[in-house]
Amino acid sequence: MSKTVEDLVVLGSGPAGYTAAIYAARAGLNPLVVAGAIDAGGALMTTTDVENFPGFPEGVQGPDLMAKMQAQAEKFGARVEFDDASAVDFSGETFKITLYDRVVEAKSVIISTGSAYRHMNVPGEDLLSGRGVSYCATCDGFFFKGKELAVVGGGDSAMEEALFLTRFAAKVTIVHRRDELRASKVMADRAMANDKIEFAWDSVVTEVLGKDGVEGLALKNTKTGEVSELPVQGVFVAIGHDPRSDLFKGQLDLTPGGYIVVDEPGTLTSRPGIFAAGDVVDDTYRQAITAAGTGCRAALDAQRYLEGLE
């Protein structure tokens, strides 16, 4: 494999990665962004209306926002490659990152790999994934016209999924393990006001039913233990995310939940020269704007680190 040495490699894209790339490129660091082969742009690529990102009073489509961030980074000299890192070695003076066709060496790295959809881990979920089980309403909602669907979760993302699905579905049932939502008031109010949305409170999914496609959900009441079946033709899982940090196990300090440990308020990890930003660090806020803020901090931290090497 051929090798090149970069001043800075940004692993991952999304608001954190692209913001880091914008700041680093403007500082003359000519960063290489390994944006991901499939998940480039992060979670916002599967988000419809983003109404809370500053500067867009009318809202903006998630993919459009990420396209603008990418274009802005490239305008200032960032290089974006749609590839995935398959291995990293942070033990040497320079850091080695294995891509599809080569190994890249870097003096500094910003990790912004984000998080992945969390699974329910119940019988039938994996078997019927792609055959009625989905984790992205904007990706798959169109295929469920006139169907009765379920959304599992109680946060903002679950409400957004449910509201989007009402464009296609005959009915959407939100399954939530408690008797009140975790979602923000505005999102909860929108869901409760929608005539197509019903709620299965105090309920958890114990099995996804069906052979060739989803036919229903087996539910258990968290208070009474009563079991029931909810007949649906599709289920959309929106119960949170897990940090994409498996690649860094044994290389960096992680929390018990798998988030990369950084030296707050900075972004330095347990390894000098390695910085982390966005949802792979943040288990509290997980917002596009907070991810972008940490991406800015990571770029500034990396710039200072590189200046110290000179």
Cβ–Cβ < 8 Å for 176, 154: yes
Q: Which residues lie closer than 8 Å to 229 by C-beta, 6 or more apart?
A: 209, 216, 217, 218, 219
Could you list the active site residues? 136, 139-140
- The number of CA neighbours under 13 Å toward the Cβ of 75 is 10
In angstroms, the CA 192 to CA 152 distance is 15
Residue that has been written with the tokens 């500094």 in this structure: 108
Residue 134's closest CA among 304, 143, 84, 2? 143
- The number of CA neighbours under 13 Å toward the Cβ of 228 is 14
DSSP letters spanning 101-167: S-EEEEEEEEE---EEEPP---TTTTTTBTTTEES-HHHHGGGGTT-EEEEE--SHHHHHHHHHHTT
